[in-house]
Amino acid sequence: MANPATAAGDVLISSTDNSKLLKGLWPQDMGDKCELRVGGPDAQGNSVLCL
């Protein structure tokens, strides 16, 4: 990726939803256009979401 983009997302997420996000989202076939990976949480409880 030549020019990756980043953006702050100061959004509070419940612990239940955070558990779901940490599992990620993986494409089921080639027609799916989205993959979600989550890194973290770090020492401050922050996570990084990569689409």
17-42 pLDDT, tens digit per residue, is 878 877 877 777 877 777 778 887 88
Give the whole-angstrom CA distance, residue 50 versus residue 39. Answer: 8
For residue 38, the SS3 value is strand
pLDDT at 10: 77
Name residue 35's amino acid: E
Prediction pTM value: 0.49
Q: Give the per-residue pLDDT at 1.
A: 57
Written as six digits, the tokens of 27 are 């494409």
- C-alpha to C-alpha distances, 51 to 4, 16, 41, nearest whole angstrom: 11, 20, 17
pLDDT on residue 45? 79
